[in-house]
Structure 1
Amino acid sequence: MRPIVLFDLDGLLIDSEPVWDAAKREVFGPLGLHLTAEMQAATRGLRQRDMVAYWFDRAAVEGDPGDVERRIVAAVCRGLGAVALKPGAEQAVAVCARVSRAMAVVSSSPESVIRHALASTGLERSFDAVFSAEDDEYGKPHPGAYLRAAAALGASPGECIVVEDSFNGVLAGVSAQMAVVAVPEAADRCDPRFAIAALVLESLKDLDASVLGACVSGGSRGAAWASRGADPRPLRVPDRAV
């Protein structure tokens, strides 16, 4: 079977997390919210609407959440012009293009940011489609964006391989009952929660045809995990750093 490969974007293919972090500090700082590295990590992988709501709920922030979100996205777009690819990203995309029947980016970022980033890095022609959770009812860690991408590409969840860097993204892919390859940042690699992924890699440099083959033959380790019981609590926004 030739799989569908669904890539996250920020922090996985492109080194954009510093850009997002700087944009959030720039906008939230004057509002009295000074985000530490641990606080930034707490919302990693969430779409901007959910990230902004997270801090408005937890901190004494005054203002219009929609305006804050728009200003953060504008600051990110300004900073993406010089964004770099993550190590191994170009190679991993090329490998997946050879062995998959379709590839897409599935991101929490607005579509404008996704397309801007892909154009800035020269990856725009590598993908058959892009999917943003921006207008979905729920963002990651909810599986909706991944399920929507699979349906649009004519695939069942069992035919899809998700590649993610954040735990919120991994949880979204596992909850969609797809095989998930996790590529966490070094600081997060020992987090035992990543064990729900089918495979955990140190870098995209390690993503080759044999890895994809193992996912296809082994299926999603999380399929049984995701289907046991109907407890919705794993899909809550986390209260601690991920």
Structure 2
Amino acid sequence: MLKGIFWDNDGILVDTEPLYYRAMQETLAEVGIPLPMDLYRRITLEEGRSSLCLAQEAGFSDADLSRLRDAKNARYSRMLQAGITPLAGAVEAVAALRPYVGMAIVTSSLRDHFELMHRHSGLPQQFDFILTREDFHNTKPHPEPYLKALARSGLRPEECIVIEDTRRGLEAARAAGLRCLVIPGGLAPDAAYPGAWKVAANLDMARRLLEGELAAETSFTESSFPI
């Protein structure tokens, strides 16, 4: 029985992936390191590594890497302050599913970035809890973020579904024993997602798939996480 949904944030609820890529690309360009999109896709969206590894491989010191990370985060914060709106269908999907299942956001974003993204969205209030980068040691594709979400929710893996937009997110969900519904992100629309429970073209289709799963498994009674 479906009792919980764990939502990724970037690329699922808000369209921030292009901004993050631009912040990283511009930061590395200042020290002479190019970051073409295909390389970013492989390193970050598939392997789940920071693209700052390119600076490390180029011989930059730990202190240099720390300064680059701070510069990238500051640049990204400035971009987010310009205003972010939820992706099409996000508000409607969350509102439609909220009465029937417990819901949480599990994101690799820093807490302050997450709060900037959702200053005016109203979405965080619809979730039982939110886990950001500060809440786990290992980030996706490691299963730790979703294992922590499971522990916090009090549910079993078979009672939950994850919504993700990248291969690294899918791998994290599967490694935690969770079904994963993938909505391919705009930066990697043609990527393959082996092992996904379902692949949906957009949030509206994802909502209909989840409503169908709920209709097949339960009588649509109101629910939230047992916390």
**TM > 0.5 fold call:** yes
Instruction: Write the letter of the residue equivalent to 1:196.
Output: G
Instruction: Write the letter of the residue equivalent to 1:179.
Output: R
Question: How much does 1:161 deviate?
Answer: 1.0
Please name the residue that 1:205 is paired with: 204
Contact 2:4 2:160 in 1 (8 A): yes
Please name the residue that 1:158 is paired with: 158
Please name the residue that 2:38 is paired with: 38
Task: Tell me whether 1:76 sits opposite 2:76 in the alignment.
Answer: yes
Please name the residue that 1:183 is paired with: 183
TM-score if structure 1 supplies the norm length? Answer: 0.78
* Bigger relative contact order (CA 8 A; separation at least 6): 2
Alpha-carbon distance between aligned partners in 1 of 2:137 and 2:76, rounded to the nearest angstrom: 23
Q: 5+ residue gaps in structure 1?
A: 219-242
TM-score if structure 2 supplies the norm length? Answer: 0.83
Q: 5+ residue gaps in structure 2?
A: 218-227
Q: Give secondary structure in 1 for the equivalent of 2:30.
A: helix
Corresponding pairs, count: 214
Alpha-carbon distance between aligned partners in 1 of 2:185 and 2:137, rounded to the nearest angstrom: 28
Please name the residue that 2:220 is paired with: none
Task: Tell me whether 1:27 sits opposite 2:27 in the alignment.
Answer: yes
Supply the RMSD in Å over aligned alpha carbons. Answer: 2.5
Q: Give secondary structure in 2 for the equivalent of 1:196.
A: coil
Contact 2:41 2:187 in 1 (8 A): no
Contact 2:6 2:106 in 1 (8 A): yes
Segments of 4+ moved more than 4 angstroms:
60-63, 215-218
Moved more, 194-203 or 122-131: 122-131
Question: How much does 1:144 deviate?
Answer: 0.3
Q: For 1:142-153, what aligned pairs fall within 5 Å after superposition?
A: 142-153=142-153
Question: How much does 1:147 deviate?
Answer: 0.6
Q: For 1:161-172, what aligned pairs fall within 5 Å after superposition?
A: 161-172=161-172
Deviations 1:71-103 (A, max 9, x none): 222222221232222221112211221221x21
Deviations 1:112-161 (A, max 9, x none): 21222122423121222111234533211001001101101212222221
Alpha-carbon distance change, 24 to 178 in structure 1, aligned in 2, over 3 angstroms: same
